[in-house]
A and B are shown apart, each in its own frame.
Chain A
Amino acid sequence: MKKSISDSEVKVLEEKAKHIRRLIIQMLAKAGSGHPGGSLSLTDIITALYFKQMRHNPKDPQWPERDRFHLSKGHCCPALYAVLAESGYFPMEHLWTLRKLGSILQGHPDRRTPGVEVASGSLGQGLSVALGMSLAVRIDNRASRVYCAMGDGETQEGNVWEAAMASSHYKSDNLCAIIDYNGFQIDGCTKEIMNLEPMVDKWRSFGWHTIEIDGHNMKEILAAFSEAETIKGKPAIIIAHTVKGKGVSFMENVLEFHGRAPTQEEAEKALKELE
């Protein structure tokens, strides 16, 4: 059943990711607040998940055999909302209501959005949520896989390591975590605020299969997901080296854009770059 990847398919996904980036910029500019940096660094990974890797059905979000995705780094929900809308979970026009009163698209994800499994926003809990899903899938003998996208900064939360320990204890090989390792958190570089290194060694020592990739190389992303599926008896984690603000020159590695939306003028400039 493993998907082979052709060059033309990779090209289509890369174009899709560019389109998702455009939607993210447009949503955030319209909303006037939000988190572009981490949304853009996650874009290629989440695009690969929703448009290639995951088995899911936008017409039946609760399809029991679906693969599950949980966005632990909830503040990067613009990326999630864009792929959900693009997949057909809800009409595109909702994207322009992001963060507005009464919107189905809250500032951090919750279950009023079709396709969102579990709310997030309070960092460090998502891997636990994903572990809970993976154990439920096991009880029901389903083939579903569970994906959990985490931020790098949030691994400073102790809860993450409780979940890391338990996932390998329970040999959750249907669980694949992804760390969007862009090296920045709100207050600065992770190296300066609270060093995360050696990241790969940490996960390995907790009993995980680790895969290190360039989180913007579509081929590497897809190959990593395929490799994770072959791992038996332990959970897998993809440590994806990414660039915060990826795709927009004046946002790349600029701390300010962790949590500031682009102005209308900046958005227009960004959209030109993403043509």
Chain B
Amino acid sequence: MEFLYQRDVYGKTLVELGKKDPNVVVFDADLSSSTRTCIFRKEFKNRFFNFGVAEQNMIAASAGMASCGKIVFVSTFAIFATGRAWDQVRNTVAYNNFNIKIVATHAGVSVGPDGASHQALEDITLMRLIPYMKVIAPCDGPQTHDAVVAAYETPGPVYVRLGRPKVPTIEGRGAFRFGEAEVLTQGKDLTIIACGIMVKQALDAASALKKEGVTCRVINMHTIKPIDTKAIIKAANETKGIVVCEEHTIVGGLASAVDEVAAENKPTTVLRVGVRNRYGQSGEPEELLNEYKLSVNDIILTCKKVL
């Protein structure tokens, strides 16, 4: 099985976009070796700007840059991009509907040993509720490439959520379509909807359940906003309930987005695998996924509650 850092893929994709389009500019705030925007910096020194440890300035400056016709990729850790600089994102990036792509890394508890201050568990919520903002959380390395290209091609502000650790490549996926859910397995008993690293966990849970005679429709909801309402309504109509899995708080993120669609269109059971009113902490990613009830087993147990 292939394991890739989403961040490495991001850095390389930036170079690809930078070669294609001289208007692509990249900003970072002293984390370019972690976010891997340093790969772009090496190729395009005059189109890369390091803002030091000053995320608010970086985000607001991206608006000035974009007002001059540039497509600006702005990167730092998810906690700082979405939390520290939220007002700048809301009032100065998104309100102007500028072509700014906030590609944030180190989302979720899988950041590991750095602990709570560096583990963004609220970023999807914080970005999803801003008008004009689009949100993508790709599931693996190859999908990160496609998501970054989609962000580039999609006008206006886009938030792309990436993780820190190497993640397994999910085989047999089709082409990435922005805004369109990806159905990975067919099943008629229940539906599991996941994003980011939880997609692999969902697939593993579905395999285990299959052995017990339960078939699951696993959906990779890589685009959280705009969300694929048709796929959710179809799942609500055709299966007995939905389990939503995200490495994120259960408040306001993917689970809420799914629940909102179901509630308004086809009320059904929606159970949530996610972080419940807690901060993260230090530990290894695998340990933390267990601690925060994000493991394959937690998904299996939740699925059984639906049935």
Q: Does A159 contact B (CB under 8 A)?
A: yes
Alpha-carbon gap, A51 to B290, bound state (A)? 66
Q: Within the assembled complex, what's the spacing in Å between the Cα atoms of A158 and B95? A: 22
Residues of A near B92 (CB, < 8 A) are 118-120, 122, 125, 128-129
Q: Do residues A159 and B64 form an inter-chain contact, with CB atoms below 8 A?
A: no
Q: Does the CB pair A128–B56 fall under 8 Å?
A: yes
Interface contact A166-B96, CB-CB below 8 Å: no
A139 touches B47 (CB 8 A): yes
A275 to nearest B CB, angstroms?
A: 39
Measured CA separation A130–B87 after assembly (Å): 17
| Size bin of chain A's contact surface | 20 to 34
Q: Is the CB of A132 within 8 A of B65?
A: yes
Give the residue of B54, B59, B60, B65 whose beta carbon is less than 8 angstroms from that of A136. B65
Choose from A64, A129, A162 the contact partner of B64 (Cβ within 8 Å): A129
Interface residues of B in 163-180 (CB under 8 A from A): none
Given contacts A118-B96, A119-B95, A128-B60, contact A135 B65 (CB under 8 A): yes
Instruction: Report the minimal beta-carbon distance from A77 to chain B, rounded to whole angstroms.
Output: 14
What separation, in Å, do the CA atoms of A264 and B29 have in the docked complex? 50
**Closest-CB distance, B57 to chain A (whole angstroms):** 4
On whether A140 and B68 interact (CB within 8 A), knowing A132-B61, A158-B56, the answer reads: yes
Q: How near does chain A come to B2, taking the closest CB pair, in angstroms?
A: 37
- Collect the chain B residues with CB atoms within 8 Å of residue A139's CB: 25, 46-47, 70
| Residues of chain B lying within 8 A (CB to CB) of residue A170 | 49
Assess the A110–B57 pair: CB atoms within 8 A.
Answer: no
Q: Give A110 Cβ to nearest chain B Cβ, in Å.
A: 7
Please measure, in the bound complex, the distance between the C-alpha atom of A79 and the C-alpha atom of B88, giving whole angstroms. 24
A-B contact pairs, 15 of them (CB 8 A): A117-B67, A122-B88, A128-B56, A128-B63, A129-B60, A132-B63, A132-B64, A135-B64, A136-B67, A139-B47, A139-B70, A140-B68, A159-B56, A162-B56, A163-B61
B56 contacts A131, CB within 8 Å? no
- Given known A-B contacts A129-B63, A132-B64, A119 and B57 have beta carbons under 8 A apart: no
Q: Which residues of B contact A125 (CB under 8 A)?
A: 56, 60, 87-88, 91-92
Cβ-defined contact, A128 with B64, below 8 A: yes
User: What's the Cα separation between A129 and B91 when bound, in Å?
Assistant: 12
In the bound complex, residues from chain B placing their C-beta under 8 Å from that of A158 are 56
Contact indicator B91/A163 (Cβ below 8 Å): no
Cα distance, A121 to B68, chains bound together (Å) = 20
Complex CA–CA separation, A135 to B70 (angstroms)? 11
A261 within 8 A of partner (CB): no
Nearest CB in chain A: distance from B75 CB, A: 15
Separation of A120 and B93 alpha carbons in the complex (Å) = 11
Number of residues in B with C-beta < 8 Å to the partner?
Answer: 29
Query: Nearest CB to that of A138 among chain B residues?
Result: B46
* Chain B contacts with A in 50-107, Cβ cutoff 8 A: 51-52, 54, 56-70, 87-88, 91-92, 95-97
A70 beta carbon closer than 8 Å to chain B:
yes
Chain A residues within an 8 Å CB radius of B97: 111
Contact A166 B64 (CB under 8 A): no
Q: Is the CB of B68 within 8 A of A137?
A: yes
Closest residue of chain B to A110 (Cβ to Cβ) is: B95
Beta-carbon nearest neighbor of B88 in chain A: A125
CB of A57, distance to nearest CB on chain B (Å): 16
A237 contacts partner chain B, Cβ-Cβ < 8 Å: no
Distance of A20 Cα from B75 Cα, bound (Å): 42
Q: Scan residues 161-176 of chain A and give those whose CB is less than 8 A from a CB of chain B.
A: 162-163, 165-166, 169-170
B residues within 8 A CB of A136? 25, 64-65, 67-70
Q: How far is the CA of A111 from the CA of B98 in the complex (A)?
A: 11
Task: Answer whether residue A222 sits at the interface, using C-beta atoms and an 8 A cutoff.
Answer: no
> CB-defined interface of A125-153 with B at 8 Å, one 1/0 digit per residue?
11011111111110110000000000000
Q: Is the CB of A122 within 8 A of B87?
A: yes
List, in ascending order, chain B residues with CB within 8 A of A166's CB.
51-52, 54, 57, 61
Residue of B nearest to A131 (CB): B61
B residues 14-58 near A (Cβ < 8 Å) are 25, 46-47, 49, 51-52, 54, 56-58
Within the complex, the shortest CB–CB distance from B33 to chain A, in Å, comes to 19
Measured CB to CB, the closest approach of chain A to B91, in angstroms, equals: 4
Is the Cβ of B64 less than 8 Å from the Cβ of A133?
A: yes
Q: B residues within 8 A CB of A68?
A: 67-68
**Could you tell me the distance between the alpha carbons of A247 and B229 in the complex, rounded to whole angstroms?**
58
CA distance A135 to B47 in the complex (A): 9
